Amino acid sequence: MKPNLLKKSYAATAALFIALFAFGTTAHAQQDYTLAIAGRTVNEQNCKEISKFPGVSGKVEYDNATKTLTLENATITASQVNTHCIMNFINGLKIKVVGNNTLESKQAWAILNYQDCDLTVMGSGTLKMKGSSTSAEPTFMVGFFNVGTVTVKDCTMEVSAGLYGIGSGKWKFDHCTVRAKGNGADDNEFAGSLCYLHAKPEFVGCEIVAPEGAYWKEFESNGQKKYSLFGADEKVMTDWVTISSQATGIDTAAAKPGKTTRSIYSISGVRLSDELNNLPKGVYIVGGKKVVKQ
């Protein structure tokens, strides 16, 4: 995320805003909403049929009365240049996730939340998103680009991209499980998994559990204070970072025999494919909580 990322990104999103939304209400009888899915504008006529958009499968619906975008076992793929899976200009939008959901943008960001917009990602499900790793424009190699405020509540979210995982804006993590990874940039010491945030994130009922020793480093970019997550080696984090439910102690009751459908991670944040009963003794993160297998 080079120092001019915000300036270039504002210009790009402003152009997209004009192209997608500015002429909708005059050219059509229906009301266009300032929300785009896989490059197509959502309006009052198609908001219940977003699943029919090119690149969209599963259940995807928008309710303007409650400002709620529901994703239920949905897949959204954006393949065109400068096309994001979800582009939001609605203040107060809620993305409700049910079941397992996947977003992948081939040439841009998986999610863009625009300036001064409050966005909440919530629900009982999982949202896995991947931003571009092949875009010719490095500023589009971001998983979740936020210029407003994002709250992640109760759900499980995974974010990755070629250079930057979670980038920019203000964040609140509320009783959720989040994993983020960005590979960083050789010419930018502050670009990585969670970077260029406008303030240190707020954590409610959860915390960074991996890697150990991670800390927020304050720096200045374009005359403003920003924060990136650094590791114990005093370098920006470019590996998986795991945010999970806060524990006052370590749960031991979860280490029971038999199979489990919950995701299992090592204490360093690596997802494990084996069942808990097949793993050696040790400390793991199961269903967002630290557990001990004895």
Q: What is the pLDDT of residues 185-220, one digit of tens each?
A: 999 999 999 999 999 999 999 999 999 899 999 999
Question: If pLDDT is split at 50, 70 and 90, which confidence band does 86 have?
Answer: very high
State the average pLDDT over residues 18-44.
75
Question: If pLDDT is split at 50, 70 and 90, which confidence band does 11 have?
Answer: low
Burial of 83 (0-12, 13-18, 19+ CB in 10 A): buried
Instruction: Flag the least confident range among 20-34, 114-128, 183-197, 273-287.
Output: 20-34
Question: If pLDDT is split at 50, 70 and 90, which confidence band does 138 have?
Answer: confident
State the average pLDDT over residues 77-91.
94
Q: What is the pLDDT of residues 242-267, one digit of tens each?
A: 999 855 343 333 444 444 445 677 76
Give the chain's end-to-end CA distance (angstroms, integer).
43
In contact, 110 and 84? CB cutoff 8 Å: yes
State the average pLDDT over residues 35-46.
96
pLDDT at 276 over 90: no
User: What pLDDT score does 264 carry?
Assistant: 76
State the average pLDDT over residues 168-187.
96
User: What pLDDT score does 281 carry?
Assistant: 76
3-state secondary structure of 153: strand
Mean residue pLDDT across the chain:
86
In contact, 283 and 268? CB cutoff 8 Å: no
3-state secondary structure of 227: strand
- The more confident residue out of 113 and 138 is 113
User: What pLDDT score does 131 carry?
Assistant: 97
Q: What is the pLDDT of residues 93-110, one digit of tens each?
A: 999 999 999 999 999 999
In the chain, where the domains are located: 5-245, 247-294
- The predicted model scores a pTM of 0.81
In contact, 267 and 247? CB cutoff 8 Å: no
Degrees (nearest 5) of the Cα angle 218, 219, 225? 85
Return the DSSP state at 18: I
- The more confident residue out of 213 and 27 is 213
